[in-house]
Every structure is written in C-alpha cells, then in structure tokens.
C-alpha cells in the first residue's frame, strides 16, 4: 500500500514537472541556444559509441545467422535480410536506446542533480526564470531531434559491420546486398523512427525528473543518476512491447 | 520595505518558525542573526518564496507575496537579487556570462548594452579582468563577488544574502560586507542578510533580527545589541572571547566614568 502511494506520488510529481517544462520558453533566443547545445552534448557526443556498438553487433548478428541458421534449404540472401530486419526493427531503435539511456540518462540526472544541490536551480527560480522549462525542455527536444539521426546511423553502421564479415569469407557482399534489398518495407524504417522519438522522450524526461528533484548531497545525486538509468530502461522495455504491438 | 507578519513554518510535525513578526527597512542592511539551526535560513527561504509558509504573510512594499498568483510572483521575483551561501554561479558559464544571464533573460537591450551593463556590475564588485574565467577558476571570495554582480545586474529592489561570509577569511568577509552595504545605500534597496558572523553584525547591521529556536527573540540596531539585557542574545553574541573582553572593557570604562 505504501509502495503504491509512493509510486502514485512520484507519477504526480513527474506530471507536475512536465506541466512546468512543456510551456513556451521565457526567451526564445536563450531556448535555441540551449537546444543546440543539448543536441551537441547529448547527441553529437554519442555518435562514436553508437557507430562502434552498431558496427560490431551488425557483424555478430550476420555471423550468428550465417553459422547457426543458414542451411542449404534457405536462399543465401537470408543472412542479409535477417540482419537488416533485426537492426531496423529492434537493435538500432530499442537496444541502442537502452544503451543510450545509460550514457545520456546518467549525464542528465547528475548534471541537474548537481545544479540542484549547489542551489543553481534555486538561483534561477529566484530570478523569476521557469527553471524546469529553461533546463529540461531543451534536453527533451534536443534528444528527440537527435535520436532518430542516431538510430539511422546505427542501422547503417550495423550494415557496414555485416559487410565487414565478407572479408572473413563467411558470406559475400553480393549475397548481403541482395538480402538487404529483399522485400524492404519502408514502414519498418518509420517504426524505428517513432520508437526512437518516444524513447528519447522517456530517457530525457525521466532522467531530468530524477535529477531535478534531488534532495541532499553528492550521494543522493549518485542514487538519482542510477535511478534515472534503471527507470528509463524499464520504461523503454515496457514501451517497446506496446509500440511493437501497435506499429507492426 | 519587506514586512513579515505572524509567520509560522512547520515541516510535518516539527515547527521551525513560530509567529515571526519583523519589518525590514528600505535603504538599510537588515540582518537576520542566530545560531546554526535556529531557523534563519528557513525564514529567508520563506521570504524569497523558495518555501511556502504554513501560515502568515509576507508583504513586499505592502503587497502580500503569499496571495499573489504564480505569474505575479514570477514578476515580483524579477525585482529580487540573491546571493547564495555557495554563490550558486552557473558552472558552465564564465563570470561575464553569469552576470549577463538575467539581462539575456529579461532585458530587451541590445547585446552591446547588455554586455556593457554586465561589465559595469563586474567593475562595481572589483572583478574586472576575471570576465572570461569560469567559476572553478576563481577563489571563493571572487565567486561571491561575481554572484553579487549577477544579483544587481537588473537593478533589483530587494537583495537577499544567505551567509555571504561563510567559508571566507575575515579580510575577504569585510570586503563582501562593505560591498553589500555600499550597494544597499547606493541603490536604496531593501537588503536582508542572513548571518552568524559578529563582524558583519557590528560592521553593517543597520537593523538586526535575532532568531532563536524559531522565534524572533530580539530586534534592534548594532548600537543597541551590545547593551541588550536579553540573555539568549547575550549568550549568542558574547560566545566570542574577543567580544566578551570588549564588552567587559567597555563596562569597566563606563563604571570609571560613573565614579
């Protein structure tokens, strides 16, 4: 009963914070400046890790399918086809966002948590600035803008990773190309984009909530950072089930 | 002028402030003094609106702050400047950017004018030359001065300082005190300083409110404070050896003159 009450209180506080966040910024020029900064910090700085992980996962998926599923009864393009579908539908859109929840979520929560305990957020409130709107809105919109780009890069990087296995002799470039092109449904790409936008909102808003509402000192900032990652990850997994059911 | 009337504040069952009544006058440096844990920070946070009182009223020039709408509270807050205990400068911004922040947010001036105003404020607190430094690259005293510059950038009507001397050496503390006092007189604003530093009390305390266990125990000026017969106030101010000896010497002197 106590846990239920606590959970409902948390949800209520989250909704209230989002109410304050999702309003028109006090100064648009300040908002744009922060928006671009957040896209750079949260998105551009994540490109490296997205490319590396996707490249190797693409290569490994390709190898696993070739070695464990491919049989003489199946067309040779199955490896490329399956790799593309896995990357497009699940890995790049969902698993990559789970990985980014760790990197971006902890970054957001610890930044806002530190601002809270060092009274920087109080300083904004005293000035008459809507601190939630000024600090959180650019993070949410920045990540929602950049996440589809990261997911697209992840898909391409995974495909390049799959191509790289051809140098090991397990498959050929032409077989993979045929598979990548076979029966392509553009809607699957848009499914990935929709998922990316929803997950970006979950990661940025939940992590911001956890950081913004910190009370205490550095230990609590650490705890909020961990909570942000765990809660975002669980919510992404739940959302994945519903979105997959709805979209495909 | 800021007036606090019958202010109570409780956290769950614990009452932290009990029936506080005080008037903080315009053009004067008003001090809230008291031991750590006496409730002075809670009182200041109630006055600036970071906390909501359990009951009571806070009047800013006869306008009841507690009764204002959210929008009107925000508008009134734009007339406030605050110096926090930790300075609370924005880490990612330089000193100049910190001071320009409120101007960028609320001023309709051109960039050149905003920068000029920010540099004026930085010059006023004797920080010229440190404009492009980050808060982590300057000393605690300089951070406090930068925070004062940020607080006065929009020509506030009310200035609040929470423990401005905490963590500073006595010499730097005097510089900060004189700066706060000077700005208060120059701009003719209502300043409230939360402190337990007796040097500040004697140096800049135009009006003093002594808080003890959540109650406004004594009010007066720095001239009155040495001659008060309030036991709790005397226990607080004469906890320092230097002040006790000063008081004893003063009493002896007075006794000699009497004979």
What does the pLDDT read at residue B259? 65
Q: B238 or A137: which carries more pLDDT confidence?
A: A137
Q: Nearest-CA neighbor of B165 among B131, B198, B197?
A: B197
Q: Are B114 and B103 in contact (CB under 8 A)?
A: yes
Question: Which of B69, B86, B110 to probe by mutation at the A interface, max A CB count within 10 Å?
Answer: B86
Q: How many Å apart are CA A56 and CA B169, to the nearest integer?
A: 57
Interface of A with B in 113-152 (CB under 8 A): 114-115, 118-120, 122-123, 125-130
Q: Among residues B110, B128, B119, which one has the least CA distance to residue B152? A: B119
Contacts of B77 in chain A (CB under 8 A): 125-128
Strand residues in chain A grouped as ranges (E): none
What is the value of ipTM here, to two decimals?
Answer: 0.85
How would you write A131-146 as a 3-class SS string?
HHHHHHHHHHHHHHHH
Scanning the structure block, which residue is given the tokens 């510089």?
Answer: B175
Q: Quote the mean pLDDT of chain A.
A: 92
SS3 call for B247: helix
CB contact under 8 A, A125 and B89: no
Alpha-carbon gap: B75 to the closest alpha carbon of chain A (Å) = 7
Report the pLDDT averaged over residues B168-179: 85
Please count the other Cβ atoms lying within 10 Å of the Cβ belonging to residue A185: 12
Locate A218 and state its tokens: 């550095």
Domain limits of chain A? 28-247
pLDDT band for position B201 (cuts 50, 70, 90): confident
A169 Ramachandran zone, left/alpha/beta (phi>0; psi -120 to 50):
left
pLDDT digits (tens, 9 = 90+) for B68-90: 998 888 889 889 999 998 889 99
CB atoms near residue B116 (< 10 Å): 12
Asked if the model's pLDDT at residue A98 lies above 90, the reply is yes
Option in B49, B84, B104 nearest A123 (CB): B84
Q: What ranges do the domains of chain B cover? A: 2-223
Pairing of strands B80-83, B63-64: unpaired
Q: How far is the C-alpha of B256 from the C-alpha of B185, rounded, in Å? A: 38
Q: Which residue has the tokens 């009223």?
A: B57
Q: Scanning the structure block, which residue is given the tokens 């101010």?
A: B237
CB within 8 Å: A123 and B86: no
β partners of residue B191: B29, B159
Q: Is there a contact between A26 and B105 if contact means CB atoms under 8 Å apart?
A: yes
Q: How far off is chain B from A180, nearest CA to CA, in Å? A: 45
**What's the pLDDT band for B248 if we cut at 50, 70, 90?**
confident
Q: Assign B21 to helix, strand or coil.
A: strand
A218 touches chain B (CB under 8 A): no
Exposure string of A116-135, with b = 16+ CB inside 10 Å and e = fewer, is bbbbbbbbbbbbbbbbbbbb
- Of A205, A202, A193, residue with least CA distance to A247: A193
Chain B residue closest in CA terms to A124? B102
Please tell me the distance from the alpha carbon of residue A95 to that of residue A89, in angstroms, as a whole number. 10
Q: Does B168 touch chain A if contact means CB atoms closer than 8 Å? A: no
Angle between helices A131-164 and A78-86 (to 10 degrees): 170
Closest B-chain CA to A126: B77
Strands of A13-102, DSSP E: none
Q: Residue A119: which of B88, B102, B106 has the nearest Cβ?
A: B88
Q: Decide: B230 and B217 in contact? Cβ < 8 Å.
A: yes
Helix axes B111-124, B95-106, angle to 10 degrees: 130
Flag whether residue B50 sits within 8 Å of chain A, measured between CB atoms: yes
**Nearest residue, CB atoms, B48 vs list A26, A27, A126:** A126
What is the band of A100 on the pLDDT scale with cuts at 50, 70, 90? very high
Q: How far apart are CA B18 and CA A223, in angstroms?
A: 35
- Nearest beta carbon to residue B74 from set A29, A30, A128: A128
Assign 3-state DSSP to chain A and report helix, strand, coil percentages, each to 5. Answer: 85, 0, 15
A8 in contact with B at a CB cutoff of 8 Å?
A: no
Give the Cα-Cα-Cα angle B42, B47, B51 (nearest 5 degrees): 55
Q: DSSP code of B163?
A: S
Which of A27, A114, A120 has the CB atom closest to B105's CB atom? A27
Residue B102 with chain A: CB contacts under 8 Å:
127
For residue B37, the model assigns a pLDDT of: 86
Copy the structure tokens of residue A123. 């300083």
> By CA distance, what is B156's nearest residue in A?
A127
Q: Does A36 touch chain B (CB under 8 A)?
A: no
**Predicted pLDDT at B47:** 93
Residues of chain B neighbouring A112 (CB-CB closer than 8 A): none
pLDDT digits (tens, 9 = 90+) for A200-244: 999 999 999 999 999 989 999 999 999 999 999 999 999 999 999
Residues from chain B that touch A27, judged by Cβ atoms under 8 A, are 104-106
Report the C-alpha gap between B155 and B151 in whole angstroms: 8
Q: What is the pLDDT of residues A216-225, one digit of tens each?
A: 899 999 999 9
Q: How far apart are CA B43 and CA B59, in angstroms?
A: 14
Q: Angle at the Cα of B200 (from B163 to B44), degrees rounded to 5? A: 35
Give the architecture-level CATH label for domain B2-223: 3-Layer(aba) Sandwich (3.40)
Residue that has been written with the tokens 């497009």 in this structure: A88
Q: Do B105 and A127 touch (CB under 8 A)?
A: yes
What residues contact B39, with CB distance under 8 A and at least 6 apart? B9, B16, B17, B211, B213, B214
| Chain A CB within 8 Å of residue B80 CB | yes
pLDDT on residue B133: 95
Q: Determine the residue of chain B that is closest to A121 in CA distance.
A: B88
B104 touches chain A (CB under 8 A): yes
* pLDDT for position B35: 86
Give the model confidence (pLDDT) of A116-145 as tens digits.
Answer: 999 999 999 998 899 999 999 999 999 999
């Amino acid at each position: 009963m106590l846990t239920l009450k606590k959970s409902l209180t948390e949800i209520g506080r989250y909704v209230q914070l989002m109410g304050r966040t999702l309003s028109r910024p006090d100064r648009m020029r300040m908002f744009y400046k922060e928006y671009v900064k957040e896209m750079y910090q949260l998105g551009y700085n994540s490109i490296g890790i997205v490319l590396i992980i996707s490249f190797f996962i693409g290569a490994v998926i390709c190898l696993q399918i070739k070695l464990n599923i491919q049989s003489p009864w199946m067309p040779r393009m199955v490896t490329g086809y399956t790799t593309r579908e896995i990357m497009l539908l699940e890995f790049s859109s969902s698993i990559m966002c789970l990985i980014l929840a760790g990197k971006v979520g902890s970054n957001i929560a610890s930044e806002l948590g530190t601002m809270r305990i060092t009274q920087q957020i109080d300083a904004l409130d005293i000035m008459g600035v809507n601190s939630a709107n000024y600090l959180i809105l650019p993070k949410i919109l920045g990540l929602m803008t950049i996440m589809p780009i990261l997911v697209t890069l992840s898909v391409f990087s995974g495909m390049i990773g799959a191509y790289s296995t051809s140098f090991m002799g397990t498959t050929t470039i032409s077989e993979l190309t045929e598979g990548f092109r076979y029966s392509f449904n553009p809607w699957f790409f848009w499914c990935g984009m929709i998922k990316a936008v929803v997950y970006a909102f979950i990661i940025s808003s939940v992590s911001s909530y956890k950081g913004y509402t910190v009370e205490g000192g550095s230990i609590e900032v650490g705890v909020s950072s961990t909570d942000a990652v765990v809660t975002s990850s669980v919510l992404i997994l739940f959302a994945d089930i519903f979105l997959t059911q709805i979209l495909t | 002028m800021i007036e606090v009337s019958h202010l109570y504040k409780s956290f769950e069952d614990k009452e932290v402030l009990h029936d506080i009544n005080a008037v903080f006058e315009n053009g004067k440096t008003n001090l809230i003094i008291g031991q750590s844990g006496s409730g002075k920070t809670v009182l200041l946070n109630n006055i600036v609106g970071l906390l909501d009182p359990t009951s009571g009223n806070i009047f800013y020039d006869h306008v009841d702050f507690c009764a204002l709408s959210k929008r009107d509270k925000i508008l009134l807050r734009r007339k406030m400047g605050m110096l926090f205990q930790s300075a609370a400068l924005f880490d990612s911004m330089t000193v100049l950017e910190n001071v320009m922040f409120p101007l960028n947010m609320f001023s309709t001036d051109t960039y050149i004018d905003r920068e000029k105003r920010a540099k004026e404020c930085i010059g006023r607190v004797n920080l010229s030359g440190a404009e492009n430094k980050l808060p982590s690259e300057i000393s605690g005293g300089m951070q406090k001065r930068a925070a004062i510059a940020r607080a006065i950038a929009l020509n506030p009507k009310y200035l609040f300082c929470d423990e401005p001397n905490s963590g500073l050496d006595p010499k730097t503390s005097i510089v900060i005190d004189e700066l706060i006092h000077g700005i208060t007189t120059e701009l003719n604003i209502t300043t409230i300083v939360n402190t337990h530093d007796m040097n500040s009390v004697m140096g800049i305390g135009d009006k003093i409110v002594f808080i003890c266990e959540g109650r406004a125990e004594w009010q007066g000026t720095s001239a009155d404070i040495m001659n008060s017969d309030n036991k709790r106030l005397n226990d607080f101010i004469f906890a320092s050896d230097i002040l006790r000896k000063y008081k004893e010497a003063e009493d002896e002197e007075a006794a000699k003159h009497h004979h």
